[in-house]
Structure 1
């Protein structure tokens, strides 16, 4: 339980965001003609910002590549995992 204690405040703030993302992800990410829907653009922009943030971190290249792969292959879930467990705020 001690390992989860620092993450509880983030989880409490992420609950409404998670609910919103679940609702928006149930909408189509692509339109019928293959173009991105509005939520697709939002997720794409958040993914790009998260990837920039990953490569700015002072981590080893292996950890950066792992987080980039998680965000790339799981766009919505990867963003949530990165925000919760990437260790922000640690100097």
Structure 2
């Protein structure tokens, strides 16, 4: 069951939703570095998104200045 939830296929390549997650991570990282924050806050958010791909995206969406 754990392998059926993986981002990778049996051949080691990314599954379809792995590509979607990668694209969303890249978009979120680009959005982080376009924000008018200081560099420390940008690096912190980038690290959260990088080390926790799905959870980082959810946390970023919920807490990172969506009141524009």
Q: TM-score, normalised by structure 1?
A: 0.68
- CA deviations 1:8-41 (Å, max 9, x no partner) are xxxxxxxxxxxxxxxxxx7221011111000100
Q: Which ranges in structure 2 are unaligned for 5 or more consecutive residues?
A: none
Aligned positions of 1:62-81 closer than 5 A? 62-81=40-59
Flag structure 1 segments of 5+ consecutive residues without an equivalent: 1-25
Residues 39-85 of structure 1 deviation map (CA, whole Å, 9 limit, x = unaligned): 10010000000000000000000000000000000000000000000
Give the aligned length.
65
Give the Cα–Cα distance (whole angstroms) in 2 for the partners of residues 58 and 64 of structure 1.
9
Alpha carbon RMSD of aligned pairs, Å?
Answer: 1.1
